[in-house]
Amino acid sequence: MSTVQQAAAQPTANPPGPTGGGKRRLLPRAERRAQILDAAASAFAQRGYSDTAMDEVAARAGITKLIVYRHFGSKTELYQAVLESVFARLATEVTDRIPAMVGRGAVPSALMVVAREQPDALRLLMVHSSREPEFDELVKRFDAVAWSVAASVLDPTGDDEVDRWQARTLADFVVGGVLGWVEHGDPTRDDEVVARLAAGAARLAAGWRDRELDDPAGSVAAHRQTCGQTADLEDDR
């Protein structure tokens, strides 16, 4: 079992649901709401917002659709609540786990553990919601948290703009790598992938900090100038 798997192997309570073929159990309002959110998160993550019906959410929760509508007036309201819940949980769990991780792999390790524990949540926030423009604000908020976490573990370059883009580049690299691996990779190799992501992130960071590069900005400017001159020549024909 990998280190990531061991960290993720914590006992979790079974979510409330139907009790076999007996009478439906009455739950406090907050507990019922949480049950609906869990069922909806799973459905939305697997089928996407457009293809998920409220009937399916109700069936997964083991309740009637009427009960779902007592808590959420529309599918849009339910989806928004799911995203808010998922965002808060993922952001908290990733940032809380980082101090317990060791070395430069702390961020990818923490993210890998949470992604293995809650693959539907990460998939929902980073894949499905990004395809729905009306929910883009939540994705931006998660991105901002990821960039902030990346910035906290990076050495500053002395250039604020470079520091911002360094953090964004590394966060996107790590989040994309972890999400892709959790979707398609072998869980027994999680530690190996974390190590490779950490090494790749270190090389990316070194590239941002490298002040020995041959004026890349000047090269871009020269390229633009050349392209502009070529366009002028074409216009003169």
What digits encode the pLDDT tens for the residues 110-125? 889 888 888 888 778 7
Tokens representing 15 are 């979510």
CA distance 234 to 228: 10
pTM beyond 0.85: no
Report the range out of 144-153, 159-168, 216-225 with the highest average pLDDT.
Answer: 159-168
Is residue 187 pLDDT above 80, yes or no? Answer: yes
Q: Six-digit token pair at 30? A: 């907050």
**Domain residue spans in the chain?**
19-209
Q: Which residue has the higher pLDDT, 34 or 235?
A: 34
Q: Give the pLDDT mean for 67-76.
A: 96
Encoding tokens for residue 82? 């799911």
Over 80: is that where the pLDDT of 53 sits?
yes
Beta-carbon count within 10 A of 92 CB: 12
User: Residue 2's pLDDT is what?
Assistant: 60
Mean pLDDT of 122-139: 73
Q: What is the pLDDT of residues 23-51, one digit of tens each?
A: 567 888 899 999 999 999 999 988 888 89
Topology of the domain comprising 19-209: Tetracycline Repressor; domain 2 (1.10.357)
Measure the CA–CA gap between 168 and 162, rounded to whole angstroms. Answer: 10
Identify the residue whose tokens are 């972890």.
178
Q: What is the C-alpha to C-alpha distance for residues 223 and 129, in angstroms, rounded to an integer?
A: 37
166 contacts 157 by C-beta, under 8 angstroms? yes
